[in-house]
């Protein structure tokens, strides 16, 4: 009897409306879950029966069913937190994580460091990214992000770079190490480091030897030199600088170069003095030291040595590169957080705890660097909020409620009709 089938049709509507309420309720419950992606219930009609058999047409449906629960991977609002380990993804991608079930993926960027220096989720799972080499250059090697040693050893100075001008109007002088100040045309000082990280002050004396030709003498106070006397200067490096008629650096010629510092320093330290790329080296001379008719001066100088240091602070930039800052002023890149991209985000399987797992429908997650090959960018000191729209969910809630009520009316009306049928016997 078709009245009985209407009962079943109404029941399918109740089941579908109840399941829809579950999806909506889950969305509302996770409105404040970081990185959460809302879902929607999608329904299909059930197999219909035809009044004309295989001829088609004139079909009566048998109800509805929940066909799919489709996640909505729209962008959530990004909230600024000022916490250095918080990260938000703006665009496509997921943070790869070492999870108990294998590699997991999440949009929740509320991370922190554990006592061993690993960057982890709130549940203690390690974040994966690209490692840096010993020089701080980010490589393509993927592994867990870890601080490693919080101290760095001393690094001896190997090169001093100087950008300067030497006055072409100066007179020719013969340099005397015992009277350096009066037998040089110009001098400047710079601090370098020996192999144990002790800062050493060297003074560079420049004297003009002939037209367009200068000599430099790197002098160290006797108290810092092995076997030196406190009141004397010790020469540890010399060289020649040659300019062309335009005042541009033509050539650099290195002379003696052996720094023998005392107090435990390794003897024979070599420090290269770089005055820029000369014409002989293939440069044009304009980006190197010059000899113009203006007073001698140093525009800037730098050296690559430093003392031993301990970690002072950490920071992530918007390329998701973790940088360590040490108390001697040295900065070093440690790692870069990776982003995984899928062919079909909707095919991912929810594992709970804000994690997803790849499936055959999603395709394999390919980890790459943020901003590359269609991946989104990572915003430091930020967190992505849930993409649940409470207003939309309340509307969906009311719609599901009305749908449920309407299906109860189908059942109650069918019941009344069946009661009428039963009354025929009594009448």
In this structure, are residues 145 and 129 in contact, taking their beta carbons and an 8 Å threshold?
Answer: yes
Largest CA distance in the chain: 138
- Measured distance CA(38)–CA(75) in Å, rounded: 11
Instruction: Give the 3-state secondary structure of residue 369.
Output: coil
Residues 179, 181, 187, 191, Cα dihedral to 10°: 70
Task: Output the pLDDT for position 17.
Answer: 82
Bridge partners (DSSP) listed for residue 377 = 90
- Measured distance CA(78)–CA(86) in Å, rounded: 11
**Which of 13-27, 72-86, 240-254, 327-341 bottoms out in mean pLDDT, i.e. has the lowest?**
13-27
pLDDT in tens, 181-216: 999 999 999 999 999 999 999 999 999 999 999 999
pLDDT tier at 119, thresholds 50, 70, 90: very high
205, 279: one domain: yes
22, 97: one domain: no
Task: Output the pLDDT for position 285.
Answer: 87
In this structure, are residues 253 and 239 in contact, taking their beta carbons and an 8 Å threshold?
Answer: yes
38, 114: one domain: no
Task: Output the pLDDT for position 55.
Answer: 63
12, 60: one domain: yes
Token pair of 186 as six digits: 């110009």
Task: Output the pLDDT for position 338.
Answer: 95
134, 268: one domain: no
Phi, psi values for residue 54, rounded to 5°: -80, -5
Where is pLDDT greater, at 299 or 43? 299
- Measured distance CA(164)–CA(190) in Å, rounded: 13
Whether the CA torsion 223, 228, 233, 236 is positive or negative: it is: negative
- The per-residue pLDDT of the chain, averaged, comes to 90
pLDDT tier at 44, thresholds 50, 70, 90: confident
Which residue has 């203006």 as its token pair? 294
288, 171: one domain: yes
345, 370: one domain: yes
Q: At what angle do helices 390-426 and 2-29 cross, to 10 degrees?
A: 160
89, 195: one domain: no
The share of the chain scoring above pLDDT 90, in percent, equals 70
Instruction: Give the 3-state secondary structure of residue 13.
Output: helix
Token pair of 419 as six digits: 């009661």
Alpha carbon 163 to its chain's center: 34
Here the CATH number for the domain that contains residue 181 is: 2.60.98.20
Nearest alpha carbon to residue 278 among 296, 258, 251: 251
- Measured distance CA(314)–CA(309) in Å, rounded: 14
pLDDT in tens, 271-287: 999 999 999 999 988 88
H/E element, 199: strand 199-210
**Which of 220-229, 277-286, 342-351, 405-414 bottoms out in mean pLDDT, i.e. has the lowest?**
405-414
Is the pLDDT score of 65 beyond 90? no
Tell me which of 246, 274, 303 is where a domain ends: 303
The share of the chain scoring above pLDDT 70, in percent, equals 95
163, 268: one domain: yes
Which residue has 């990214």 as its token pair? 129
Tell me which of 384, 400, 418 is where a domain ends: 384
Token pair of 400 as six digits: 């599901």
| Domain of residue 89, residue span | 78-152+311-384
Which residue has 């002023």 as its token pair? 329
Task: Output the pLDDT for position 1.
Answer: 46
Task: Output the pLDDT for position 132.
Answer: 92
**Which of 67-81, 277-291, 406-420 bottoms out in mean pLDDT, i.e. has the lowest?**
406-420
**CA atoms within a 13 Å half-sphere pointing along the CA-CB vector of 200:** 33
The pTM score is 0.74
Domain count across the chain:
3
353, 239: one domain: no
Token pair of 120 as six digits: 């982890």
Task: Output the pLDDT for position 239.
Answer: 96
Is the pLDDT score of 427 beyond 60? no
pLDDT tier at 46, thresholds 50, 70, 90: confident
Tell me which of 259, 287, 303 is where a domain ends: 303
190, 258: one domain: yes
Rounded mean pLDDT of 284-294?
Answer: 93
**Which of 75-84, 280-289, 318-327, 414-423 bottoms out in mean pLDDT, i.e. has the lowest?**
414-423
- Measured distance CA(18)–CA(41) in Å, rounded: 11
- Measured distance CA(49)–CA(29) in Å, rounded: 40
Is the pLDDT score of 257 beyond 90? yes
Token pair of 194 as six digits: 């020996």
Nearest alpha carbon to residue 250 among 259, 240, 237: 240
Token pair of 139 as six digits: 């490589």
Is the pLDDT score of 42 beyond 90? no
Left, alpha or beta for 57 (phi > 0: left; psi -120 to 50: alpha)? left
In this structure, are residues 162 and 301 in contact, taking their beta carbons and an 8 Å threshold?
Answer: yes
277, 196: one domain: yes
pLDDT in tens, 204-254: 999 999 999 999 999 999 999 998 888 899 999 999 999 999 999 999 999
In this structure, are residues 120 and 127 in contact, taking their beta carbons and an 8 Å threshold?
Answer: yes
Residue 378's alpha-carbon distances to 38, 91, 97, 140, 148, in angstroms, are 21, 9, 16, 18, 23
Rounded mean pLDDT of 354-371?
Answer: 94
Task: Output the pLDDT for position 180.
Answer: 93
Instruction: Give the 3-state secondary structure of residue 408.
Output: helix
């Amino acid at each position: 009897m078709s009245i009985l089938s209407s009962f079943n049709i109404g029941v399918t509507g109740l089941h579908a409306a109840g399941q829809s309420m579950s999806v909506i309720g889950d969305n509302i419950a996770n409105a404040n879950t970081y990185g959460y992606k809302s879902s929607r219930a999608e329904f299909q009609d059930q197999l219909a029966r035809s009044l004309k058999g295989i001829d088609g047409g004139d079909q009566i449906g048998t109800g509805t069913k929940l066909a799919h629960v489709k996640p909505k991977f729209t962008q959530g609002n990004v909230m600024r937190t000022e916490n250095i380990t918080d990260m938000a993804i703006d665009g496509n991608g997921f943070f790869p994580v070492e999870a108990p079930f294998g590699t997991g993926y999440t949009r929740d960027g509320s991370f922190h460091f554990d006592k061993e220096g690993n960057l982890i989720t709130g549940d203690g799972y390690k974040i994966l990214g690209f490692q840096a080499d010993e020089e701080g250059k980010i490589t393509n090697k993927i592994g867990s992000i870890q601080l490693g040693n919080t101290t760095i050893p001393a690094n001896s100075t190997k090169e001093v770079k100087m950008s300067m001008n030497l006055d072409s109007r100066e007179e020719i002088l013969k340099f005397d190490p015992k009277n350096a100040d009066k037998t040089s045309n110009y001098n400047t000082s710079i601090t370098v480091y020996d192999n144990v990280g002790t800062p050493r002050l060297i003074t560079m004396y420049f004297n003009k030897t002939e037209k367009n030709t200068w000599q430099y003498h790197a002098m160290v106070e006797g108290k810092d030199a092995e076997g030196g006397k406190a009141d004397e200067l010790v020469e540890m490096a010399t060289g020649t600088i040659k300019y062309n008629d335009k005042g541009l650096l033509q050539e650099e010629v290195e002379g003696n170069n052996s720094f023998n510092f005392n107090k435990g320093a390794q003897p024979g330290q070599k420090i290269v003095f770089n005055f820029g790329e000369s014409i002989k080296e293939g440069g044009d001379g304009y980006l190197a030291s010059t000899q113009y008719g203006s007073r001698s001066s140093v525009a800037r100088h730098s050296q690559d040595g430093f003392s031993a240091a301990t970690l002072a602070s950490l920071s992530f930039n918007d390329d998701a590169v973790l940088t360590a800052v040490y108390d001697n002023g040295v900065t070093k890149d440690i790692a870069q957080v990776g982003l995984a991209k899928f062919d079909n985000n909707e095919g991912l399987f929810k594992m709970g705890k804000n994690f997803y797992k790849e499936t055959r429908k999603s395709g394999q997650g390919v980890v790459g660097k943020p901003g590359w090959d269609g991946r989104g960018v990572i915003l430091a000191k930020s967190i992505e909020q849930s993409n649940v729209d409470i207003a939309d969910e309340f509307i969906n809630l009311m719609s599901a409620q009305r749908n449920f009520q309407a299906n109860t009316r189908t059942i109650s009306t069918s019941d009344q009709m069946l009661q009428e049928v039963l009354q025929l016997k009594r009448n």
